[in-house]
Structure 1
Amino acid sequence: MRKINQQAGKIALYFAIIGVLWILTSDRLTAFYFTKEETFNHVQTYKGWLFILSTSIFLYLIIKKLFEKIDQRNIDLAKSLLRYRSTLDNMLEGAQIINFDWEYVYLNDVALEQGRKSKKDLLGKKMMDVYPGIENTQMFKHLNTCMDNRESYKMENEFAYPDGAKGWYELSIQPVPEGIFIFSYDITERVKVEKKLKVGEQRLIEAQRIAKIGDFVWDVNSGEVTWSDPLYELLGYNKKEIVDFNKVNENMHHPDDRKGVNKWLTDSINSNSDELSPKEYRLIRKDSKIIYVITQGRIIRNNSHPVKVFATVQDVTEQKQAEQSLKESEEKYRNLFMNSPDAIFINLNDEIILCNNSFKELMTAKDLSDIIGKSPFDIFQPDIHGLVKERINKVRQYEEDISFHEEKIVNFNGEEVDVEVHRSAFSLGEQMAIHVILRDITEQKRNREIIKENRRRLETLMGNLPGMAYHAKNQEGWPMDFVSDGCLNLTGYTANELVGPNGCFYGDIIYPDDKEYVWNTVQDAISKGEHFVMEYRIKKKNGNVHWVWEQGLGVSVDKDQVHVIEGFVTDINERKIAENELVEHRKNLELLVKQRTRELYKSEEKYRGLYESVKDGIVHVTMSGKILECNPEFSKMLGYSIEELKKQSYRDFSPEKWIEIENEIFENETLKRGYTDEYEKEYIRKDGTIFPVSIRMWLIKDEDDNPKGMWGIIRDISKRKEYEESILNLYKDLEIRQKQLESANIELEAFNYSVSHDLRAPLRAITGFSQILLEDYIKDLEPEAQRLGKVIQDNSEKMGELIDDLLAFSRLGRASLQFTHVDMSNMINSIYYEATSNEIREKIVLKVHNIPPITADTKMMRHVWMNLISNAVKYSSNRDEIRIEISAEQNKDTVIYKIKDNGVGFDMRYKEKLFKVFQRLHKPNEFEGNGVGLPLVQRIVNRHGGEVWGESELGKGATFYFSLPKKHV
């Protein structure tokens, strides 16, 4: 535009010069050359036309030249604009032009991609129509300033995409003739990285605090020492305090370690190494507490001269204390090991590497060195070496304990000793060792065999007696404490029906006409200290009346002369019938014999049906194991026909590994006591499959009491084993899930704790700056700004309280419980005065009943009562009279504490929200709070093994309960 004005000015100047020259010279020249008046007038007329013609030609030539230049410049400008447009179109950054009417007149592809809109959506459209509400943003204020004042501006702006996603852009806003030009550069990734770096830096600092690690930089020349924030916290100093090497050396290095530390530093600096080797020593904190630290780092040199030392300082006090505790614990357990009454040795790679004194005595060795280095197989009886090796391999393979089982060892005197052996695997360095415990059970086994034999004889005797042995109280009805199995045949009642407080009294089944006689006979004999013998009738369970014979004796069991009677009752009904009817019914004797014979046949048929239909296998074998007889179920179980089985021995379908074990059972149980306990083994079916079974065997003897065969009951336990394995797998899965849950809880608590700490720094900044604003600039602020500043400050303080509560809530997941005796009554009274002011206490009626003390964590119990009492006062504050009642009640297993108020209460429909974090049942403007108190109470009570719950009705107050296990009371 300036050049056009200059050209126009030149033309006007030329035209003015020509006009002035023409006016000044044309008349004089005409008068000089044309002296005649007539000629002069004609020339004057033509002179005017000549001037017009010449100036027109001159103007034409100048204007033509000017427009030729303008056309050339327009061509050059078009080319320049084309290059300019091409450059903008191919830029990697966004470019857009907005005219003075706020319409988009140009956008390159990058700008369209950044805005995620098409040209159709933007070109020619006003910015305010495309992005409603944009005029209220900070970015628009800068755009408007640039548009009005033609000032450039640079800023970073967060942008929300139409799909809801967000990104960050660096904007450069420039004034252009068309309006404003916006250059946008996507910095989303950079912002994300910066945020991650900031979070990483905070986490590093937090990690140092958690790990109790600080760092420092020591300027060797000046002696100046710069500490990190965690190091200030570690040593208890204020960040404003100036620290140098002399202060550290004189005030912080422990006097006993100072010389060694100085020598270590001097040697390290004077050496050629850049490494500051680790050094453990003691430091004295500002609070005079002594801590152990390990310091290590690097030495920075300039031309081999030390300049600075960078080092980390780690607090290892807890490790040192743990090492000392470990040393003491090791000594303690070494003494326990060496002096244990059980014989113990350690097996490593089939070699005894350690044993205790009891093992030395068991082996009759003179010294422990006589045993160390020997193979563990050398101490066991040679016959069981294979079994011992199998058990050792099982422990190594599955790393599981093998509970106490019987084995035999041979001591140095050559004597065999019966022992119980327990083996368990444990890691010794990188190797697997076996911990072996042995108990001498020689005497125990001898006594056990005697007891077994006596029990067998007693059971055989009791089982073969033709009647019922009993032990009864000498009271009305004679309640039974014990009856033998013969009671069923004698009375029709089982032992369970006759024994115990709920059993049928024996006196109730004595025939009514005989009761007085029986009672008098027994009492008379007891008074004389004699046996009683009598015959009388009883009424059996089926209603039949039978004659019985009884003999017994009264027994005194204590000094109060409370007697019991013991005796034997047998059925003599047949004998009595025979005696009474022998004469009269002699002719019917043959008929009775035939009748008994028929009954025997029926009985035989009944038991034969039972034998063939029972679901367990039954087999009759000779002493050598040959099968004489079996039921169909045993045949079905093995897949052989009964005829095929009669040609075999039971050993033919027993796996080889069970032969030796079963021979031992046969020798130790079957032959010695006539039967075996139920034991498990495996059988091989005809098709070759192996399946588990449980077996019980009974010995059969002839008339001379010589063994002649055995009966066995065999049960297929395949399904039971499958169930056991399934249950075991479910239990293992449960353990895995429990560990995962514990790990997740630990991570969640750590996350909550970290987040709460990370919120503190920005919160302190907000609180501090808002306080500065209100204190230093309050005169410059409008009333509304002052109010908003106060709102910011108040909410920051509330946020701080919320973070403190959240931190307390998080710490409960990690804090260990310190159980001590707690006087709940004193604690309640103390907390009541802490939680209330003198003014509010004037309207409170507090009633505390007899509250039992507990064993619990004192600090955590204070949290519980502080929250419950504060809530009771807070939610009753709108009452003219506040009534609070605290009581407790006990049941068999727990103590339940109760606090009741007359406040506003709550709707029981929302009781599930009571103990959830940040959940509140009242509006903040009604009652202050942050929703952390009751969840905190619940977590504390749960950690003590108790429960907490609440009951209420709107407008009628609330009652909260919490229970604690009675084991803590």
Structure 2
Amino acid sequence: MNPSGQPERHLSIEPNDSTWELREAQLRTLLDAAAEGLYGLDLEGRCTFANRACAQMLGYEGERELLGKNMHDLIHYAKADGSPFASHVCPILRAYRHGEQVHVDNDVFWKKGGESFPVEYWSYPICSTEGLVVGAVVTFIDISERLAHNRAEERVRRELEHRLRVSYEELGRTQNRLNLALEYGNVGLWDWDLTTNDVYYSPTFKSQLGYTQDDSWAAFGDWEAHLHPDDHDAAVQRVKDYFADPTRPYISKFRLQCRDGSYKWILSQGKAHFDAQGRPVRMIGVHIDITQQEEYDKKLEQLNNELSDTVKELKRANEELRQFAYVASHDLQTPLRSITGFAQLLAEDCLSDADDVAADYLRRIIRSAARMQRLIHDLLQLSRIDSRPRTSSPVDLGEVVSGVLHMLGDQIAQEQAVIDVSPLPTILGDATQMEQLFQNLLVNAINYRSSQRRLSVRVWYEMDGEHCRVHVRDNGIGIAPEYHEQVFEAFRRLHREAERPGTGIGLAICRKIAERHGGRIELESEPDRGSTFTVVLPKELVVSNA
């Protein structure tokens, strides 16, 4: 509108123009060529013209169906929600009612079939040559695709916002978890910007050295200045070596000075990022306090050294003891044989003439000497187990046990014992030692038989996972559980010599032989319910099963 109240933009109509028909035809062609919908209104709101696009978008076969119709009542009678749209508030009609231009970017028009579609429209007043408003012209476009595109964009935008929000939330949670892990794990974090030489040191990094979060640590030089003098050059060189060859991971161990002047051992690990020219621009890593571990390692090394020295000393002492036992036992046999021989000669020559006291003394001397010979024999056998060279040849345990039974034949017959031997395997081992082992076990069964029943012994084996288990079971007097470990100790006896013969070394020899073959010996027994000795050997020793 101009200052005088007249519209500045208008369409002029010259009804008396002699070239009206030509211009009307040109205008019609122009209007029908437009993609936008166009229609005109008189002062009563009736359609004065409409182009082809207008009719098509509104669902009419041609523009003639629109001419003379009240366009508000025809296409703009309701809002998008279906509620009535009163004509007196219709923005389109303000063009000719108030002579003003109108633009609405999102409204609805209603088609002939009764369905609505979204539109953007412009309404302009039409003025005569005298400047009077005589109607309006309306231009509109279907914005369905635009709104669909806008809705799609909105969905994408909301989805992106949602994903971004979720990512930020997850990033925050991850950061919190990382901070908690670093804090509870006592792991410091450092982030070195090599372009500025600035370094971020995490609060845990600082607290490991006794500093607070507010203490000034912000540059590479702060780290370098706190290195132990003995570690400085090697630690700095390790960083340079990594930059020169980043294929080798950066792992460095050094000591850093704490706030109180003490030093802590630190394990540092990191990874650098390089620019296109291969220059390091950033390096991030962790900082772990390993002082306690270093102290443990140092103490462990000291203990290992002490243990190694102790083992050497024990080996030396054991070897000396073995040599002493062997020499002493060997040297004792000569005078012992003399004592036994002279005692026997004296008994043969004088026993008939000696009184009862002298005769008893001679018998005691002979019995003690015989027992001493057995003890020395067993002691020599025990000392020779470790000194004997290790041999590993096939040993048929069935033949070994058969040979032992043959040697013990008189004792077995005297006791009328029942010996049941099942087929036994062939193993890799020392045949002599295996013979000693089973001889001692069978002699033990004979010596500790029960007077209440006939002696019965069973020998068999079974494969049990990773082991071969050879069992020797008797029905003798049995052994109380509290003595199961003691019976394998050398010289440990549960009965007096007068009650049960033996030297107290036999089972110790059995255990030592089993251990020398990589195994062990087990015992199951209760008083008056017999005993089961089980020789447990590694499965790898078994050459063939019975």
**Interval containing the TM-score (normalised by the shorter chain):** 0.5 to 0.7
1:753 matched to 2:326? The reply is yes
1:668 matched to 2:245? The reply is yes
Return the offset for 1:685. 5.1
Greater shift, 859-868 or 930-939, is seen at: 930-939
Report the Cα distance in structure 2 between the residues aligned to 1:842 and 1:656, rounded to whole angstroms: 85
The 3-state SS of whatever aligns with 1:837 is: helix
1:968 matched to 2:545? The reply is no
Report the Cα distance in structure 2 between the residues aligned to 1:659 and 1:773, rounded to whole angstroms: 93
Report the Cα distance in structure 2 between the residues aligned to 1:617 and 1:880, rounded to whole angstroms: 77
- Could you state the TM-score of these two structures normalised by the residue count of structure 2? 0.61
- TM-aligned CA distance change 1:605 to 1:643, over 3 Å: farther
Return the offset for 1:842. 9.0
> Cα deviation per residue 1:913-969 (whole Å; 9 max; x = unaligned)?
322333333443443222221122122222222211322233332211112223333
- TM-aligned CA distance change 1:687 to 1:953, over 3 Å: closer
Report the Cα distance in structure 2 between the residues aligned to 1:871 and 1:738, rounded to whole angstroms: 34
1:619 matched to 2:190? The reply is yes
**Residue in 1 that maps onto 2:492:** 919
**Residue in 1 that maps onto 2:388:** 815
- TM-aligned CA distance change 1:684 to 1:847, over 3 Å: same
Pairing 1:325-364 to 2, within 5 Å after superposition: none
Report the Cα distance in structure 2 between the residues aligned to 1:695 and 1:819, rounded to whole angstroms: 52
Amino acid at match of 2:508: P
Amino acid at match of 2:241: E
1:645 matched to 2:217? The reply is yes
> Cα deviation per residue 1:672-707 (whole Å; 9 max; x = unaligned)?
x5x835443444556765543222323346799985
Pairing 1:116-515 to 2, within 5 Å after superposition: none
Report the Cα distance in structure 1 between the residues aligned to 2:296 and 2:234, rounded to whole angstroms: 24
Amino acid at match of 2:371: K
Report the Cα distance in structure 2 between the residues aligned to 1:608 and 1:915, rounded to whole angstroms: 63
**Residue in 2 that maps onto 1:900:** 473
Amino acid at match of 1:621: W
Structure 1 stretches lacking a partner, 5+ long: 1-580
Contact persistence 1:906–1:921 (CA under 8 A)? no
Report the Cα distance in structure 2 between the residues aligned to 1:637 and 1:954, rounded to whole angstroms: 64
**Residue in 2 that maps onto 1:910:** 483
State which of 512, 521, 530 in structure 2 corresponds to 1:948.
521
Pairing 1:568-579 to 2, within 5 Å after superposition: none
**Residue in 2 that maps onto 1:725:** 298
Contact persistence 2:523–2:532 (CA under 8 A)? yes
- TM-aligned CA distance change 1:864 to 1:622, over 3 Å: same
1:736 matched to 2:313? The reply is no
State which of 400, 406, 420 in structure 2 corresponds to 1:847.
420
**Residue in 2 that maps onto 1:774:** 347
1:888 matched to 2:477? The reply is no
Amino acid at match of 1:810: S
- Could you state the TM-score of these two structures normalised by the residue count of structure 1? 0.36
- TM-aligned CA distance change 1:667 to 1:833, over 3 Å: same
Return the offset for 1:863. 0.7
- TM-aligned CA distance change 1:657 to 1:885, over 3 Å: same
**Residue in 2 that maps onto 1:792:** 365
Return the offset for 1:864. 0.6
Report the Cα distance in structure 2 between the residues aligned to 1:890 and 1:625, rounded to whole angstroms: 72
Return the offset for 1:909. 3.5
Return the offset for 1:825. 0.7
1:656 matched to 2:233? The reply is yes
**Residue in 1 that maps onto 2:15:** none
Return the offset for 1:868. 1.1
- TM-aligned CA distance change 1:601 to 1:636, over 3 Å: same
Amino acid at match of 1:827: V
The 3-state SS of whatever aligns with 1:801 is: helix
Report the Cα distance in structure 2 between the residues aligned to 1:837 and 1:828, rounded to whole angstroms: 15
Report the Cα distance in structure 1 between the residues aligned to 2:250 and 2:389, rounded to whole angstroms: 49
- TM-aligned CA distance change 1:632 to 1:789, over 3 Å: closer
> Cα deviation per residue 1:552-587 (whole Å; 9 max; x = unaligned)?
xxxxxxxxxxxxxxxxxxxxxxxxxxxxx9886755
Contact persistence 1:612–1:631 (CA under 8 A)? no
Report the Cα distance in structure 2 between the residues aligned to 1:640 and 1:881, rounded to whole angstroms: 86
- TM-aligned CA distance change 1:664 to 1:797, over 3 Å: same
1:711 matched to 2:288? The reply is no
1:858 matched to 2:431? The reply is yes
CA RMSD of aligned residues (A): 3.5
State which of 400, 409, 423 in structure 2 corresponds to 1:836.
409
Amino acid at match of 1:626: N
**Residue in 2 that maps onto 1:254:** none
Contact persistence 1:625–1:651 (CA under 8 A)? no
Report the Cα distance in structure 2 between the residues aligned to 1:897 and 1:682, rounded to whole angstroms: 59
1:939 matched to 2:512? The reply is yes
Report the Cα distance in structure 2 between the residues aligned to 1:785 and 1:643, rounded to whole angstroms: 100
1:633 matched to 2:199? The reply is no
The 3-state SS of whatever aligns with 1:618 is: strand
Amino acid at match of 1:711: I
Return the offset for 1:663. 0.9
> Cα deviation per residue 1:773-812 (whole Å; 9 max; x = unaligned)?
2223345323543343233223322222222222222333
Contact persistence 1:879–1:903 (CA under 8 A)? no
Contact persistence 2:272–2:282 (CA under 8 A)? yes
Return the offset for 1:898. 0.7
Amino acid at match of 1:743: R
- TM-aligned CA distance change 1:666 to 1:771, over 3 Å: same
Report the Cα distance in structure 1 between the residues aligned to 2:233 and 2:196, rounded to whole angstroms: 15
Amino acid at match of 2:466: D
Return the offset for 1:647. 4.6
Amino acid at match of 1:645: W
Report the Cα distance in structure 1 between the residues aligned to 2:514 and 2:312, rounded to whole angstroms: 22
Structure 2 stretches lacking a partner, 5+ long: 1-147
Report the Cα distance in structure 2 between the residues aligned to 1:693 and 1:849, rounded to whole angstroms: 65
Q: Higher RCO, 1 or 2 (CA under 8 Å, sep at least 6)?
A: 2
Contact persistence 2:235–2:252 (CA under 8 A)? no
Identity of aligned residues (%): 26
Return the offset for 1:852. 1.2
- TM-aligned CA distance change 1:662 to 1:585, over 3 Å: closer
- TM-aligned CA distance change 1:881 to 1:583, over 3 Å: farther
Return the offset for 1:887. 0.8
- TM-aligned CA distance change 1:635 to 1:841, over 3 Å: same
Report the Cα distance in structure 1 between the residues aligned to 2:176 and 2:451, rounded to whole angstroms: 85
Report the Cα distance in structure 2 between the residues aligned to 1:598 and 1:775, rounded to whole angstroms: 114
Higher helix share: 1
- TM-aligned CA distance change 1:909 to 1:610, over 3 Å: closer
> Cα deviation per residue 1:584-608 (whole Å; 9 max; x = unaligned)?
6755666555555554554565455
Report the Cα distance in structure 2 between the residues aligned to 1:771 and 1:958, rounded to whole angstroms: 38
> Cα deviation per residue 1:419-477 (whole Å; 9 max; x = unaligned)?
xxxxxxxxxxxxxxxxxxxxxxxxxxxxxxxxxxxxxxxxxxxxxxxxxxxxxxxxxxx
Contact persistence 1:888–1:898 (CA under 8 A)? yes
Return the offset for 1:840. 0.3
- TM-aligned CA distance change 1:786 to 1:588, over 3 Å: closer
The 3-state SS of whatever aligns with 2:394 is: strand
- TM-aligned CA distance change 1:888 to 1:586, over 3 Å: same
Paired residue total? 385
- TM-aligned CA distance change 1:845 to 1:633, over 3 Å: same
Return the offset for 1:826. 0.8
Report the Cα distance in structure 2 between the residues aligned to 1:676 and 1:625, rounded to whole angstroms: 23
